[in-house]
Amino acid sequence: MTLKTELRSGVVKFLQKTKLNKLAHKVYYGYVHGFNSATPEIEDALEIIFQKAQELGTANQGDYCEFGVFKGYAFWKAQNISTQFKDDFTQMRFFGFDSFQGLPEITNPEDQTQEEVFYQGQYNCSKAGVINNLNSKGVDWERTFLIEGFFEDSLTEALKTQYNLEKISIALIDCDLYSSTKDVLKFISDLLIDKTILVFDDWNCFDRDNNRGQRKAFQEFLEENPQLSEEEFISYGSYGQSFIIHQKSSEV
């Protein structure tokens, strides 16, 4: 972890403890941040992840899915990186899932904190705003799809049929909450192939507590799907962690 990352993490924790995080978040992301990633380190991480997918031979075996796109920067960056690999990733489609209203109401005790680290409406960016951002970067809409709705409502079997969504090569899960991550993992359980790369952007939230957040959701998911095993891959920034998923039946 770099000094810059440590300082940013320290400032965030201070704002949370002093209950100034909501105001600071609104000012920063509304007037200062612009069209950038909320996690700057994700750019380098995505380059490594796409390179790994190419090495694993999964580049054209499935789609890229991002759950929680915020302003769309990482979503665009993923597609941009994919174009750097010549004939690889040419068949990959890009699906971005978001409510475009920010986080849902925080009703699950698993997602609540005394400092209100997460709150309803946080990371809000309208669908029109995201589309404008993506257009400014020249996104390829022939293979780009934005799915609107809170995950508990939008992630359905009918949606898989509608878009012929059958396999995922890379998934970025950037939805902060235990409950939302549970919804995502349930949805993608039958879309994972051998060597799918899962990226958890909020892995170390809740002070790295294995019994909370994305850590707990993923552990429960693995217990519910014994045919899968995980191989730890790269970590990035203060919170991000990725894994390579293996189908045990295909292991030698």
Average pLDDT of the residues in 65-87: 96
pLDDT at 116: 81
Instruction: Give me the count of residues in the chain.
Output: 252
DSSP at 149? S
Q: What are the b/e assignments for 169-196, b being 16+ CB within 10 Å?
A: bbbbbbbbbbbbbbbbbbbbeebbbbbb
pLDDT at 242: 99
Contact 150, 102 (CB under 8 A): no
Question: What is the pLDDT of the chain when averaged over all its residues?
Answer: 90
Q: Nearest to residue 56, comparing CAs of 219, 222, 243?
A: 243
CATH label of the domain that carries residue 104: 3.40.50.150
Q: 227 pLDDT band (50/70/90 cuts)?
A: very high
What's the structural domain count of the chain? 1
- d(C-alpha 68, C-alpha 145), whole Å: 13
What end-to-end distance do the CA atoms of the chain give, in Å?
Answer: 35
Owning domain of residue 173: 3-250
Q: Nearest to residue 71, comparing CAs of 115, 15, 127, 112?
A: 127
Q: Which helix (H) or strand (E) holds 53?
A: helix 42-56
Q: Which residue has the higher pLDDT, 77 or 87?
A: 77
DSSP 3-state assignment of 64? Answer: strand
Average pLDDT of the residues in 223-230: 98
Q: Is the pLDDT of residue 90 over 70?
A: yes
pLDDT at 21: 65
> Amino acid letter at 139?
V
pLDDT at 46: 98
DSSP string, 184-211: HHHHHTTTEEEEEEEEETTTTTGGG-TT
Average pLDDT of the residues in 76-101: 96
What's the whole-model pTM score? 0.88
pLDDT at 115: 77
- Output phi, psi for 202, to 5 deg: -125, 30
Please report, rounded to a whole number, the percentage of residues in the chain having pLDDT higher than 90.
79
